[in-house]
Chain A
């Protein structure tokens, strides 16, 4: 089984560890597959503008540099740890109302996708790039202002575009995904080294991008595990 984490942030957005060091943390811990998914924040409101102002977001300007650095590090990670590193982003549509907010992982992204596009357009663009679309931390009820309720509330409309849902994110478990029998994965939403110890995905497939995407989409041979030291 491949030990995987598909939701990892670095200093390209709001992570506390640099890209190279992040890859080393996962490599040293014996991971097989990881995806680097820094935030791409919507710039159409004050929250997003603030995030961009403080460089907490990948933008159209630095997207190429972001991807090429991930590719460079991916080669190093493969040679040293035999760990597959996939480039991705977390499209972060943040609004004051949690009902409107949603975060979406686009894994194996090739071209920049702006977060201010409509949900439908984002999904279609991701499909065009043959990227994997994952609904992040799909909260189904509001407990705090940081939650992302949009995708779950509108699941009937958007579920067809989503390849998998995060059934577990760091320490949280979203049992509604299990009840609805949606395809699932589990990730750390890594921002700090201590987040290494969190929910992870186990995949029973070959260690290459096409096989991994297929395995997640078909959701066969997928398991989750709580990774602890």
Chain B
């Protein structure tokens, strides 16, 4: 019985943490509304010069994301006077190249360039893709933006406001998953809109910790170069986190904008969801160390089901787990409501299943420090520094056996 009570305690702790996450998201969004109202009422005609800062948008492209055409098109329809868009790819055979060409043809009046250049300076493929685009960019402000995000027309105006303050080094955004049509994408969007969004807002509000999501990062070139530029993060997996951390170290403010941007995930398979969160788990374990344990404890659904799995499946344990799962569903539904999520309310009833999967994935990083990312296998070290996996020797056999099994299964 003691075991059960221990897990009840941990579950309640997790629920409190989850409640704080909801509070953090809610107050973050509420502040947005207040800010907007003040701007409308008090300074309706004010147009600050910084609202017109010319910006270079760097878009590293690799493969086809769901909704790629519309994602890229949304950046061509921004209500902003001066900006350039640079699509960068590693080779012409990438299927995203054709989409980029179509976008360029569709918006001839926009300042769009496509750079195709093989760059293998580092091990992080996204940074490799960004380096040629950064070199070609002509403005003093750069916005690094992933290919899988879709934005509203006022996105640039909203985020650039923060740059009025010279102390601000980086502006990132909250991401909202949208459009799930398969089980993998439904899980991804649920996780994005609950755990990821909640954690980012929680860290920002209560711990004042910079937690940058690389899907949208606005910076001055001078600030980025002061921390070593993109070259400094060419061999790290979590380049976004490291850039934010270094900015913070140098006394620059890292701002989480109130503007929510969309990440459209429609047709993910379950495998893609599992792969991404295993990779992200490994990354957080390597960066956070012992703090990684807090992620497990703040998963109340997993904690409440553990006694059923490891102690006994009695009426009491199952009822408790079901009750906690229901509370979590309600919490997720509330978060979906306040973030105007487009998910069908019924899909929230899958949230406990997703939380259980995430709970089991949590353990993987404790036993494995390798990731396969865009076809390459790397070992992750401290602060997510990547190194190539050895191709010979004792350890290499482990990967060969795994690859052989995977090939056989396929």
- On A, residues with C-beta under 8 Å from B are 3, 25, 27-30, 81-82, 193-194, 196, 227-229
Contact = CB atoms under 8 A, between A and B. Distances in A.
Given A82-B105, A229-B64, A30 B98 contact: yes
Given A82-B105, A194-B269, A28 B67 contact: yes
Given A194-B269, A229-B64, A29 B95 contact: yes
A30 B106 contact: no
Which label, helix, strand, loop or mixed, suits the secondary structure of the B interface?
helix
Contacts of B267: 25, 193-194
Nearest to B72: A28
Contacts of A196: 64
B109 to A, nearest CB: 16
24 contacts: A3-B98, A25-B267, A27-B69, A28-B67, A28-B69, A29-B64, A29-B68, A29-B69, A29-B95, A29-B99, A30-B64, A30-B96, A30-B101, A81-B69, A82-B102, A82-B105, A82-B106, A193-B182, A193-B266, A194-B267, A194-B269, A227-B95, A228-B95, A229-B63
Contacts of B106: 82
Given A27-B69, A193-B267, A81 B64 contact: no
B99 A30 contact: yes
Contacts of A3: 98
B295 interface: no
Q: Which of A3, A81, A196 has the most CB of B within 10 A?
A: A81
Interface string B89-104: 0000001101101100
B2 to A, nearest CB: 48
A60 B266 CA distance: 34
Interface of B: 63-64, 66-70, 95-96, 98-99, 101-102, 105-106, 181-182, 266-267, 269
Given A29-B64, A30-B95, A229-B64, 17 more contacts: A25-B267, A27-B69, A28-B68, A28-B69, A29-B68, A30-B64, A30-B69, A30-B98, A30-B99, A81-B69, A82-B105, A193-B181, A193-B266, A193-B267, A194-B267, A196-B64, A228-B95
Q: Which of A27, A29, A30, A194 has the most CB of B within 10 A?
A: A30
Given A28-B66, A29-B64, A194-B267, A229 B102 contact: no
Contacts of B68: 28-30
A28 to B, nearest CB: 4
Contacts of A227: 95
Nearest to B73: A80
A79 to B, nearest CB: 10
Q: Which of B63, B64, B105, B182 has the most CB of A within 10 A?
A: B64
Nearest to A83: B102
B157 to A, nearest CB: 26
Nearest to B68: A28
A196 B98 CA distance: 15
Contacts of B66: 28
Given A193-B267, A194-B269, A30 B70 contact: no
The 10 closest A-B pairs by CB, nearest first: A30-B98, A30-B99, A193-B267, A229-B63, A28-B69, A229-B64, A29-B64, A28-B68, A30-B102, A28-B67
A10 to B, nearest CB: 15
B174 to A, nearest CB: 24
A22 to B, nearest CB: 12
Nearest to B69: A28
A184 B181 CA distance: 34
A13 B181 CA distance: 20
A3 B99 CA distance: 11
Contacts of B63: 229
A193 B268 CA distance: 9
A194 B181 CA distance: 12
Contacts of B69: 27-30, 81
